[in-house]
Amino acid sequence: MKIAIVTDSTCDLPQDILFQYNIREVPLRAVVQGKVSYDNRYDFDRSEYYKQLLEGKEQAIFESPTVDEFVQTYKKMCLDADMILSIHESSRLSHTVKNAREAVKAGMDSMKKMRLQKNIGTAFQIRVIDAQSTSIGVGLMVLRAAELISRQVSFLRLANALEKLAEQIFFFAVPKEPAYLRVAKDITKISILEASVATFTDAKPVVLINKGQFKLLEKVKGYEPAVERASKRILEQLQEKRSYEKVGFVFSGNAARLGELAPITEVRNTLAGMGLGSLQSDMNPMLARYLGPDAVGIAIINDDLSIADLAEIK
């Protein structure tokens, strides 16, 4: 019984990891002046978008993959996989989970017929998982699931465990330009007054996304000190309990610039000393639109899954 994984381009996993684990990524739709392109790392130019964001000229509107786009993705996979885990960003932040679930209902009968026509008699299942996070927070869950499906785990047990694990994904973000939080107040739920105070006092917000909700944790004077504070919060949580062994970093721009930030270099060295790995990537443009240019994001899963608990019942 083969399990496959689908996600969307908000997951911010590096492309080599997507290839390594054969993870199918459904892209966001980017609409610029009525023209639709896809955030599939080829069609939509993220580097140009970040440049426009920095200059205050960005005009793109981002939309979740449509129901039909999910149906077509699942159909392409249904003959090679018996079960699909479809893992996506929080349903509080976009319609992606909703569209994926509607696609399962809309396309399941035709997918089962396709399998019967090829004499594939085994049951076919798709489980849509709300990761309750965004960006590399989703990416870490996708990566952990990809690692586990190679270990003869129960599909049902894994799906149930992932839904519970989603509550333990913590994504910390530090916007360099807090004014963008005002524009996205309907999503972030951070008040215009709080964002305005940060904008005019050089206080940078340390924001947490957990269980699909934005929360302003504190304001720190200066960009790098705020990044340092977010990094320390990560380390404090990792030391409190068993966690997934990888930490994710994203940047709303060229991710290589993370190496120019002393707090990031320091925390990655500390993680290495703890025996923990890390990965970095560019932040997806939908989230970058809320957090602004040069924003830093750091994610952990403050728990982990045991192979023994996920094994198939013999």
CATH code at position 223: 3.30.1180.10
- 146 and 192 together in one domain: no
Q: Locate tokens 């992932």: which residue?
A: 162
- Of the three residues 167, 182, 197, the one that is the final residue of a domain is 167
What pLDDT is stored for residue 314 in this prediction? 44
| Radius of gyration of the CA atoms of the chain, in A | 20
Residues 206 and 140 in one domain: no
The reply to whether 148 and 184 lie within a common domain is: no
Shared-domain flag, residues 251 and 223: yes
| Residue whose tokens read 């684990």 | 21
As a dihedral over the C-alpha atoms of residue 161, residue 164, residue 166, residue 169, rounded to 10 degrees, the angle is: -100
User: In this predicted structure, what is the pLDDT of residue 270?
Assistant: 96
pLDDT of residue 179: 78
User: In this structure, are 102 and 243 located in the same domain?
Assistant: no
In a shared domain, residues 174 and 161 = no
Boundaries of domain holding 296:
168-301
Do 207 and 140 lie in a common domain? no
Q: What is the DSSP string of 141-175?
A: HHHHHHHHGGG-B-HHHHHHHHHHHGGGEEEEEE-
- Do 133 and 246 belong to one domain? no
Residue type, 179: A
| DSSP string of the chain, one letter each residue | --EEEEEETTS---HHHHHHTT-EEEPPEEEETTEEEE-SSSSS-HHHHHHHHHHT----EEEPPPHHHHHHHHHHHTTT-SEEEEEES-TTT-SHHHHHHHHHHHHHHHHHHHHHHTT--S--EEEEEE-SS-THHHHHHHHHHHHHGGG-B-HHHHHHHHHHHGGGEEEEEE-SSTHHHHHTHHHH---HHHHHHHHHHTEEEEEEEETTEEEEEEEEESHHHHHHHHHHHHHHHHHHS---SEEEEEESS-GGGGGG-HHHHHHHHHHHHTT-EEEEEEPPHHHHHHH-TT-EEEEEESS---HHHHBPP-
Same domain, 178 and 136: no
Is 82 domain-assigned?
yes
Q: What is the pLDDT along the chain (314 residues), one digit of tens a residue?
A: 899 999 999 999 999 999 999 999 999 999 888 888 898 878 888 888 888 888 877 778 899 999 999 999 999 999 999 999 999 999 999 999 999 999 999 999 999 999 999 999 899 999 999 999 999 999 999 999 999 998 889 999 999 999 999 999 999 999 998 877 755 555 555 554 454 444 546 789 999 999 999 899 999 999 999 999 999 999 999 998 889 999 999 999 999 999 999 999 999 999 999 999 999 999 999 999 889 999 999 999 999 998 887 876 54
Contact (Cβ atoms closer than 8 angstroms) between residue 97 and residue 134: no
Single-letter amino acid, residue 133: S
Q: Are residues 187 and 259 in the same domain?
A: yes
Q: Does residue 313 form part of some domain?
A: no
Number of domain units in the chain: 2
